[in-house]
Homo-oligomer: A and B are copies of this chain.
Amino acid sequence: MKLLRINVADQSFRYQDLTGDDLLLGGRGLTNKIITEEIPAESNALGRHNKLIFATGIMAASAVSSGGRLSVGCKSPLTGGVKEANSGGIVADSMARQGLRGIVLEEAGDKDALWIIKVLEDGVEFIDAKEYSGLGNFPLAKALFERFGEDYAIISVGPAGEYGMLGSAIACTDMYSRQSRMSARGGIGAVMGEVKRVKAVLIPRKGSYALKNRNAEAFKKARMTFNQFVANSERPKALKKYGTADTVMPVQKLGALPTRNFSEGTFEKAEDISGEALYQLISERGGVGRHWEPCMPGCTIQCSNVVPKANGEELVAPLEYETIALMGSNLGLGSIDEIGELNAMANDLGLDTIELGGSLGVMAEAGLVSFGDFQGFKEIMEEVYTGGLRGRLAGNGAGRAGDVLGVRRVPTVKNQTMSAYDPRGVKGTGITYATTPMGADHTAGLTVFVPKDHHDKDGWIGISRNIQITRALYDIVGICAFVTSATAQEPQLLCDMVNALYDRQETVESLNQMAIDLMMAERAYNLKCGLGKETDRIPEYMKEEKLPPYDLVWDVTDEEIDSMWQDQA
């Protein structure tokens, strides 16, 4: 396995072999190592010292269910701290087939340049991309597939990344050549587009690299046990039928569905945008619509979907719960068609729909647009393409929008917008928002499916902590977070696969410790970046402003928050 390091300033490159213990460095483990060891903590995230790392997990191209996540890491321009955001799609699989565990973009590109980097068998080719400048992810991918053929997986940025927006994402190709799997969070698109001046990285889908494996039979057996366990578990089954949209009604019931800029916890049109409604719409319209679809080869969960327009053509694929809430209820929009159209547009622009939903919600509260005004939101998003001021406010996150517009109800931690669980109603996830090194991020440790009172803060510190450890481990291994809902209770399953594939003698404990060590390294780095415990905080207004209809407040104390990692620090 190799690391490919590319200097975008002088277009040079070099390979670096990964051997021994380093072979266990995948995904967030690899991004973390390079970030903490090589990017000076005090450097400007939008300056030349930042690096952008694409890392596969350690199970990529090994036919492990959902094992093809791609981690993207850098110092975050949005939070100012460590950042890893991962996505599905076929990039990780394609990289692994070239023998690449990671690709690192170093230094800053000339600001007048714009590049496509094509990964070759023995190096890279820099191709002038200026003709694609300003192009959205979809027409870009179309043009690149036409020009270079469809035998490539693409990593790309839309205009938001090129313009350096703090809410910009990085898009990856899915199994059907859609450029729609987003490593979304933390403004990482800006590092690729503005700093590195890279519009796209092309990786051959086919490749002959195969991991040497002395224990092929044992691995095959462990993998089969793992995959079957996942396929037969409850939560994955629900995910397969309704997609993540099945989360709408449970969170509505908890009174924690972000509504009209987190000012309410229930939405009068929640049923219209629920998993059930989505299922019905896809069934009725037919066309290209699909209830379930894998986003990466070999996934047994297949929680992705394709939402058709009334005429049967593709509206958006996939439509996920987080987007439904942040760009639906949070904006007062109660129509799947409207949310889907904005979602597709956000993907094309290369914007994180959570961060975008946060800033649009703030803009609506400021009166720049009305809640529920679909056309109004769409017009603002169109200004992202043209660089208009409203587009710039929408694209740079809720924190900046709040500051500029004088809105103080800004639902962020470490300047990153919360996802679709108001922490006042889902205490455990609020604790995750506060304590993960990533800024408000449900994927770091989602607690909403734990069967326990979510309004009562009691006991959630420990639960969030344990889930964060598991999620971090899966982020290293590169297996989708959704698998944890099945396998988290049977940790030996993962352990067996790791040991067989890499000829190790890991234990459940040693793997968990690896995850804890990772988070401690991330937290130590954050501290050097200036993100100390005073940034592990839910916003003050959530402690004082009661969330209707259940009058919920954030009542977890700072001391309780600070206790979570105390024995590790």
Contacts and interface: CB of A to CB of B under 8 A. Distances in A.
Interface of A: 41-44, 46-49, 163-166, 194, 368, 389-390, 392-393, 396, 400, 403-406, 408, 528-532, 534-535, 537, 539-541, 544, 558
Closest 6 interchain pairs by CB? A164-B406, A530-B534, A44-B540, A389-B389, A47-B540, A400-B403
Given A42-B537, A534-B528, A534-B529, A403 B408 contact: no
A393 B393 CA distance: 10
A404 B404 contact: yes
A493 to B, nearest CB: 41
B163 A406 contact: yes
Given A47-B540, A393-B404, 13 more contacts: A43-B540, A44-B539, A47-B408, A47-B541, A47-B544, A49-B540, A164-B406, A194-B406, A392-B404, A400-B403, A404-B404, A530-B530, A532-B532
A197 to B, nearest CB: 13
Contact of A408 (B44, B393, B406, B534): B44
B406 A400 contact: no
Contacts of A42: 534, 537, 558
A368 B537 CA distance: 36
A68 to B, nearest CB: 33
18 contacts: A42-B537, A43-B540, A44-B540, A44-B541, A46-B408, A47-B540, A163-B406, A164-B406, A165-B406, A194-B406, A389-B393, A389-B404, A400-B400, A404-B404, A528-B534, A530-B532, A530-B535, A532-B532
A438 B206 CA distance: 57
Residue from A42, A165, A393 having most chain B Cβ neighbours under 10 A? A42
A396 B389 contact: no
A400 B392 contact: no
B534 A41 contact: yes
Nearest to A408: B46
A53 B189 CA distance: 43
Contacts of A164: 406, 408
A193 to B, nearest CB: 10
Nearest to A392: B404
A164 B47 CA distance: 31
A404 B391 CA distance: 10
A537 B42 CA distance: 9
A416 to B, nearest CB: 14
Nearest to A165: B406
B389 A390 contact: yes
Nearest to A368: B389
Contacts of A558: 42
Nearest to A558: B42
B408 A166 contact: no
Contacts of A530: 530-532, 534-535
A408 B389 CA distance: 17
A544 B392 CA distance: 27
Nearest to A77: B403
Contacts of A368: 389
Nearest to A395: B404
A450 B535 CA distance: 40
B534 A166 contact: no
A163 to B, nearest CB: 5
Contacts of A41: 534
A535 B529 CA distance: 9
A522 to B, nearest CB: 16
Contacts of A531: 530
A400 B404 contact: yes
A388 to B, nearest CB: 9
Contacts of A404: 389, 392-393, 396, 400, 404
A537 B537 CA distance: 25
Nearest to A389: B389
A24 B194 CA distance: 53
A427 B376 CA distance: 49
A108 to B, nearest CB: 10
Nearest to A537: B42
Contacts of A540: 43-44, 47, 49
A130 to B, nearest CB: 18
A358 to B, nearest CB: 15
A341 B396 CA distance: 33
A544 B48 CA distance: 10
B406 A392 contact: yes
Nearest to A46: B408
Contacts of A534: 41-42, 528-530
A450 B528 CA distance: 35
A279 to B, nearest CB: 40
Contacts of A544: 47-48
Residue from A163, A403, A530 having most chain B Cβ neighbours under 10 A? A403
A558 B537 CA distance: 29
Contacts of A408: 44, 46-47, 164
Contacts of A48: 544
Contacts of A392: 404-406
Residue from A41, A47, A528, A539 having most chain B Cβ neighbours under 10 A? A47
Contacts of A400: 400, 403-404
Contacts of A539: 44
Nearest to A396: B404
